[in-house]
Structure 1
Amino acid sequence: MKYQFQAKIPAAQVDADCVVVGIYKANELSAAAQVIDTASSGAITEHLALGDFSGEKQRFSLLYQLPGVTAKRVLLVGLGERDKLNAEILTQATHIAAANLKATKVKQVVSFLTDEAAPEAAETAVRQAVIAVADTVYSFNDFKSNKVELPAPHLENWTIAHQTAVDLSTATHQGAAIAEGMKLCRDLANSPGNQCTPTYLAKTALKLAHSQTNLEVEVLEETHMAELGMGSFLSVSKGSEEPGKMIILHYKGGKAEDAPVALVGKGITFDTGGISLKPGAAMDEMKFDMTGAASVLGSLAACVAMQLPINVIGVLAAAENMPSGKASKPGDIVTSMAGKTIEILNTDAEGRLVLCDALTYVERYQPKAVIDIATLTGACITALGHHISGLLSNNDELANEVLAAGKQANDEAWRLPMGEKYQEQLKSNFADMANIGGPPAGTITAACFLARFTENYPWVHLDIAGTAWKSGAAKGSTGRPVPLLCQWLINRAQ
């Protein structure tokens, strides 16, 4: 799919297979719809008078070969009440348009939906519109044996059009870059655990950096991690025949003297729970437990495509969590890279064990800010469901930055409390800390554990357990929180 932006285009003269315009509730026409209605001698007004469609959200109507209109089709999409219009509603409308057009023979689309956005929200609306189209047409068929029988959308080109003289080509390009980053994240997360191993993640990172002058990758093997004292990370990876990898990406888009920001992702490519074995039902979904790492890789790929003027360190803490004769046992005590000892009360709380050594390692780059991303706790799903990610932080300013970026990108997070009262739950009789704090406030105590390794820099923890993938008939990766992370990086770069 190709995306582009064009300004000062009269909607009635668009030469395309389909032009998309918005209709507000009670048959109120958008600016582009009015132009088409005038050119077609009231064809849209006449159609709306039939009463089958009157601009409600989630509704659409497709018209063909209107007189005086160059485009072969005109798709009307409901926007609801005009005074309640926002970027999220425009994104939903774009989803509706793309979902219905991908089932047709349409190849070239010109959409005027974001032309209705307020000037101050136009850039955000355009970015989200491109992401919405890409999300709608995404499919993952790499492991289907007969791809010929699978329906493929005919869509080839989606143009974001505004009738006013405004240049939003940069926002369109950024949206396309973020969409590609999301695709990479989703492809990795959707891949089965027997393909997407820590080694596979390392090869993917190296391939991404191969043709880029401002992206470098280094891979720490288990022997190197042992020399660095990463006993916590190795306590997880040692139970698997697949070697763990610490993958570090250096994106150098800013000045050499500028301190970087860092993204650290949990990359458990399959999580059985280890000796604390998970129930068998839906265990296949534990291939998604590396989405934190996949989102870091996707965000770095988007950085490269956008050429953001910022320095970014990406760390992928990649390992398999398997039960074996070599696996850690409940009650084992290990020493982290920071020199702190950890009593492993539950081997299924492994994400924090790999992350804490990664968070210690990233300190050597003297980052201005660090975000870690992890499918960390089922408790986060209980607290926030599947719509909003959990956020915890040791720095109010950074937390507010990330929360604002999430709202801007329609990829929201919600801040949970974190303090000394919760740290009490991590006490151990035998080590500096336990790796779990019991059932109460599981998301918070997991973040409290990580906070002990992030005392020397501003830090945000994103728990994406509820937002990283969908179950059921729509099972698959969502690509979140790549939009949030990219929006934060865009804002930081500006």
Structure 2
Amino acid sequence: MSTFVVKLSKAALPAHIQAATPIVFEGQSATIHIPNEEQSSEEQGLRTISICARRLTAMITTDASLQGDWSFEQQWAFASSFGGPKSKARAIWCDNSDSAQLENTYQAFSFARNIVNQTPEQLSPQSLAQQAKDWLSSLAPEHISVQSWTGKELADAGWQGIYEVGRGSERPPVLLEIDYNPSSQTQTDIALVGKGITFDSGGYSIKSSEGMLDMKCDMGGAATVTGALGLAIMNGVNKRIKLYLCCAENLISGHAYKLGDIITYKNGTTVEIVNTDAEGRLVLADGLMAATESGAKIIIDAATLTGAAVMALGRDYNAVFSMDDALRAEFLTLSEQVNEPHWALPLAPMHRYKCPSPFADTANSRPQKGGGGGGASNAAGFLSRFVRDDAKGWLHIDLAAAYNRDGSELMPNGGTGIGIRSICAMLMK
């Protein structure tokens, strides 16, 4: 298949071209004009490249061959914005030293985006776990070991949250543990936990039709942490890392969990269900306890957890929560270095008690629309009950920017993969 050549230029834009999309076409090629460093920041230049990549996606059907002088970040800004779920076209890297690293990054993002964009019928909890296992095992078969609990095995092992959320579906829930250990270490360095709700109807707290339409994306946390671990493996990470995927379908049936039920977790915490649509935190609680049991020095979870995070930050930023100030600052610094937008929202010990229950240690939400004010912080506070007592070494990412049905001026339709590079940077560091 022929390719379309795309070049970069810092020369002045011709007067007849609109500055909003500064592309000059010539035959089978186009030149994107970006401001020089004296006129704008690097961030503005990368944004211009992404906007032009989205425009080119709508105009050409062939691969885009990047030629000339492109930096790593410039190539990635184009590649991550070009194409989409209905396009087979992709970026072809410049012939320079960045090509191998860019291809690794592209492979990780492709895995995450493609699995997020699968239909709910295609992606059951077992299928999500299997695809994650197969991909990671293909990258480092000699260093990967796998354990999983499915259906009633979850309840027997004490993983009650995943079991309760998933028992309403005919397709059983799964907790997947992947142990990547390239140096035969006894100590686990980092544990990753991902929310893997493959479809979220809201349960008996049923969503509206428009609210339910894109709930295939509710496993975006599982896709993100799997993509991050895969990228780190391809980049040669030499740490012992455990991955926990909490996979379930949240459906309505005669066997589904109900409002007023009380779940008793492995650590003794009792939780009253006041909203079956606040199910993500219920499955993550099991994953966080498993991560804590692993003895990992650092625990990072990622989840498409709350609409409150989207209301606070829109679809442009992921929300970051931690009671470990140094860890949060380190993550935000790394995310800025890889040009992935994240923003810290409040989390304090008081947030553990923002969802009181007269019948249990806590409720899983507040009986108000969207969980009431501060819903994203309250959800993070709930999760903090299931990690170390002081919550040191724990970071929670609420993936507000993980999915956008209609895309944006920077991102294609569907899954975005935002968060993969930032988490990978933490693993590599």
Distance 1:82 1:242, change over 3 A: same
Q: Within 5 A, what are the aligned runs for 1:406-425?
A: 406-425=335-354
- Give RMSD over aligned pairs: 2.6
Of all paired residues, the percent bearing the same amino acid is: 31
Gapped regions of structure 1 (runs ≥ 5): 2-15, 28-47, 65-71, 115-125, 142-150, 162-168
The residue type equivalent to 1:440 in the other structure is G
Match of 2:23 in 1: 60
Equivalent AA in structure 2 for residue 89 of structure 1: Q
CA distance in structure 1 between the aligned counterparts of 2:210 and 2:92, rounded to whole angstroms? 41
Quick one: which of 84, 98, 110 aligns to 1:139? 84
1:469 aligns with 403
222, 227, 230: which one aligns with 2:151? 222
What is the aligned counterpart of 1:182 among 94, 109, 112?
109
* TM-superposed deviation, 1:382: 1.0
Say if 1:393 and 1:399, in contact at 8 Å, map to a contact too.
Answer: yes
Distance 1:314 1:84 in 2: 44
Report the 3-state secondary structure (helix = DSSP H, G, I; strand = E; otherwise coil) of the residue aligned with 1:20: strand
- The 8 Å contact of residues 404 and 416 in structure 2, kept in 1 or not, is answered as yes
- Tell me how many residue pairs correspond in the alignment: 414
Deviation at 1:225, TM superposition (A): 2.0
Q: Which amino acid aligns with 2:422?
A: L
The answer for the alignment partner of 2:423 in structure 1 is: 485
CA distance in 2, matches of 1:17, 1:356: 48
Distance 1:279 1:251 in 2: 40
What one-letter code is carried by the residue in structure 1 that aligns with 2:16?
Answer: D
Q: Which residue of 2 aligns with 1:272?
A: 201
Correspondence for 1:112 among 48, 51, 69: 69
Structure 1 segment 36-435 matched on structure 2, within 5 A: 51-53=15-17, 56=19, 58-63=21-26, 75-80=30-35, 82-95=37-50, 98-99=53-54, 103=60, 108-114=65-71, 126=72, 128-141=73-86, 152-153=88-89, 157-159=92-94, 169=97, 171-211=98-138, 212-253=141-182, 256-257=185-186, 259-435=188-364
CA distance in 1, matches of 2:396, 2:261: 26
Shift of 1:19: 6.2
Secondary structure, counterpart of 1:213 in structure 2: helix
CA 1:213–1:271: 2 relative to 1, 3 Å: same
Residues 94 and 214 (structure 1), Cα distance of their counterparts in 2 relative to 1, 3 Å cut: farther
- TM-score computed with the length of structure 1 as normaliser: 0.77
Secondary structure, aligned partner of 2:32:
strand
Per-residue CA deviations over 1:409-431 (Å, capped at 9, x if unaligned) read 22121111122433332221111
Asked if 1:440 corresponds to 2:367, the answer is no
Q: Output the amino acid matched with 2:33.
A: G
Q: CA 1:101–1:382 in 2, change beyond 3 Å: closer, same or farther?
A: closer
TM superposition shift of 1:105: 6.1
1:116-156: CA deviation from partner (whole Å, max 9, x where unpaired): xxxxxxxxxx1x33433432344335xxxxxxxxx753x67
Q: 1:158 to 1:298 in 2, by over 3 A?
A: same
* TM norm structure 2: 0.88
What is the CA deviation profile of residues 8-49 of structure 1, one whole-angstrom value per residue up to 9, with x for unaligned ones?
Answer: xxxxxxxx974623225xx2xxxxxxxxxxxxxxxxxxxx6x
Aligned-pair distance for 1:397?
1.1
User: Offset at 1:280?
Assistant: 1.3
Q: 1:101 to 1:340 in 2, by over 3 A?
A: closer
CA shift at 1:258, angstroms?
5.0
Letter in 1 for 2:122: Q
What secondary structure, in the 3-state scheme, does the structure 1 residue paired with 2:169 have?
A: coil
The one-letter amino acid of 2:256's match is: A
Q: 1:173 to 1:341 in 2, by over 3 A?
A: same
> Residues 17 and 232 of structure 1: is their aligned pair in 2 closer, same or farther, counting only changes over 3 Å?
closer
Partner AA of 1:459 in structure 2? W
Higher relative contact order, structure no. (Cα contacts within 8 Å, ≥ 6 residues apart): 2
What's the CA shift for 1:200?
A: 0.5
**Inter-CA distance 286–96: structure 2 relative to 1 (3 Å threshold):** closer
Which residue identity is paired with 2:101?
Answer: Q
Does the aligned pair in 2 maintain the 1:209–1:216 contact within 8 Å? no
Distance across 2 between alignment mates of 1:384 and 1:97: 24
1:94-121, CA deviations, whole angstroms, 9 ceiling, x for partnerless residues?
435655666276764323143xxxxxxx
SS in 2 for 1:403: helix
Cα distance, 1:90–1:308 mapped onto 2, change above 3 Å: farther
- Give the distance between the partners of 2:129 and 2:340, measured in 1 at CA: 27
Deviation at 1:214, TM superposition (A): 1.9
Q: Work out whether residues 173 and 306 of structure 1, in 8 Å CA contact, stay in contact via their aligned partners in 2.
A: no
Letter in 2 for 1:279: S
Is there any run of 5+ residues in structure 2 with no aligned partner, and where?
A: none
Instruction: Check the 8 A contact 1:423/1:445 in 2, yes or no.
Output: yes
Q: Structure 1 residues 401, 175: CA separation in 2 closer, same or farther (over 3 Å shift)?
A: farther
Look up the equivalent residue of 1:306 and give its one-letter code: N
Name the CA shift for 1:59/1:280 in 2 (closer, same or farther; >3 Å). Answer: same
Higher helix share: 1
Structure 2 CA distance for partners of 1:111 and 1:214, relative to 1, 3 Å = farther
Flag the 1:348–1:181 CA change in 2: closer, same or farther, 3 A: same
